[in-house]
Amino acid sequence: MSIAAPPFNPSISSPFTVYHGETVPAERAISSLHLINGEHFSGAERVQQLLGQRLPDFGVAANFVCLKPGKFPKLCGLKSDCVRSIGMKSRLDLSIVHRIAAYAEETQSDVLHAHTPRTAMIASLVAKRCALPWVYHVHSPAARDSTRAVVNRVNDWVETYLLRNADHIITVSKSLRREMLSRGHSRNKITAVANGVAEQPSIDPMARLEQQHWKLGMVALVRPRKGIEVLLRAIAMLAIPKIRGQQDRITLDVIGGFETPEYESSVRDLIYRLDLGRIVNLRGFTKDVPAVMRTFDAMVLPSLFGEGMPMVVLEALACGVPVIATRVEGTPEVIRHGQEGLLARPQDAESLSQAIQVFISDRTAWSRMSHLAVQRQRYGFSDIQMAERTARVYRKLLQRFP
């Protein structure tokens, strides 16, 4: 049994979107050109993919340029003539500016949309050459995007410097909007547009009420800031007797590739040292995240920092799967503690272990969380709402660029 979706009403204002000025009607078709890295296919790329699919519903053509060779062109599912790879030879390779400017003219682009510090640098130069406005999309805090301090500082400096020339800034959460305001950007220049995902068939929680086994899942591009080591230690702390037949009462499936082979090796070593080999399964990358998500009883995201608004959290809610996550930046804007899931302190294995213990203690409470999860996503975090609000930003901006 899946929960029926409520009708979408674009006139309903969400508390997760901040608008300034008047609503701008969709008067004419416009064209957007998105500059992305394209190397991976994780949360930010899912946002880009869904914008590519949904913006045309609001009169906005969406084309993409990938500046790094990678997974996006193969996995995004967009028409091949809408995605072009124009790779940079190095971080400071500016020779591609004229090629992207030519592509912007070819696609009759009205607005450029950059999604990373690297693409912001190129977008600012293309915008100047083509006399186009450009928008910057903040998916996560550049200063806390990784555990590599030098890279973080460089990206943060580049982002801060370039955004002085951006015509508008979109943040994926209210917390990121506050951060941009604290850095001195004008509030009239920033719009918070919450991430959104498509509706999905949801699980039937009633069918699992008598189930004793709990299947936890973690979906991520697995890298240090995602906190998998904390999760593994939290599971090792659990005092859970085995169920009949000597089966483990919980298992954890980790879905997604690792950032580097070296990091994967260190995680596998920790699994071995904690004696979790029978419980933890590293499943690797999958194209069909919703299908895998529906096999979970909970999606666990133990992030240490750097989450704007995690797409995997929204995808879990869409499937009716409650979430156990950490109180990191935009995550608490989605998950209300005790309603759609549970929140633990970041970088705290004991806090996370306690949250998991509470979660698996009551199937009836879990069932309520599952129902609330679906409603939370469909009313407040849909791909339709995300695209409509992004299109609104474009149209408002283009009023200043006739």
Digit-coded pLDDT (tens) for 305-357? 888 899 999 999 999 999 999 999 899 999 999 999 999 999 999 999 999 99
For the chain, the domains span: 30-196+382-398, 205-380
Which pLDDT score is estimated for 248? 74
The β-bridge relationship of strands 190-192 and 168-171 is parallel
Counting DSSP H helices and E strands in the chain, the numbers are 13, 13
**Residue 164: pLDDT band by 50, 70, 90 thresholds?**
confident
Which of 12-21, 114-123, 321-330 is predicted least confidently?
A: 12-21
Given a cut of 60, whether residue 26 has pLDDT beyond it is: no
Given a cut of 90, whether residue 117 has pLDDT beyond it is: no
Q: Does domain 205-380 have CATH number 2.30.30.180?
A: no
Given a cut of 50, whether residue 10 has pLDDT beyond it is: no
Greatest Cα pair distance in the chain = 71
Q: Specify the higher pLDDT residue, 140 or 192.
A: 192
Which pLDDT score is estimated for 5? 39
Q: For 188-210, what is the mean pLDDT?
A: 94
Amino acid at 200: Q
The H-or-E segment that residue 180 falls in is helix 174-182
- For 312-345, b/e burial (b = at least 16 CB within 10 A) is bbbbbbbbbbbbbbbebbbbbbbbeeeebbbbbe
Note the pLDDT tens digit of each residue in 97-111.
999 999 999 999 999
Which pLDDT score is estimated for 221? 87
- Of 328, 307, 385, 306, residue with least CA distance to 55: 385
Prediction pTM value: 0.84
| Distance of alpha carbon 193 from alpha carbon 235, whole angstroms | 35
Amino acid at 38: G
How many residues in total does the chain contain?
402
Given a cut of 70, whether residue 7 has pLDDT beyond it is: no
Q: For 192-199, what is the mean pLDDT?
A: 95
30-196+382-398 fold: Rossmann fold (3.40.50)
Which of 87-96, 153-162, 196-205, 286-295 is predicted least confidently?
A: 153-162
Which of 40-44, 188-192, 241-245, 339-343 is predicted least confidently?
A: 241-245
Which pLDDT score is estimated for 402? 65
Q: Is 30-196+382-398's fold the same as 205-380's?
A: yes
Q: For 61-71, what is the mean pLDDT?
A: 92
**Residue 11: pLDDT band by 50, 70, 90 thresholds?**
very low
- The set of residues, in sequence order, having a beta carbon less than 8 Å from that of 265 and lying 6+ positions away, is none
| Distance of alpha carbon 306 from alpha carbon 302, whole angstroms | 11
Which pLDDT score is estimated for 87? 86
Which of 4-18, 313-327, 357-371 is predicted least confidently?
A: 4-18
**Residue 91: pLDDT band by 50, 70, 90 thresholds?**
confident
**Residue 14: pLDDT band by 50, 70, 90 thresholds?**
very low
Asked if 54 and 35 touch (Cβ cutoff 8 Å), the reply is no
Which pLDDT score is estimated for 23? 45
Which pLDDT score is estimated for 124? 94
Given a cut of 80, whether residue 122 has pLDDT beyond it is: yes
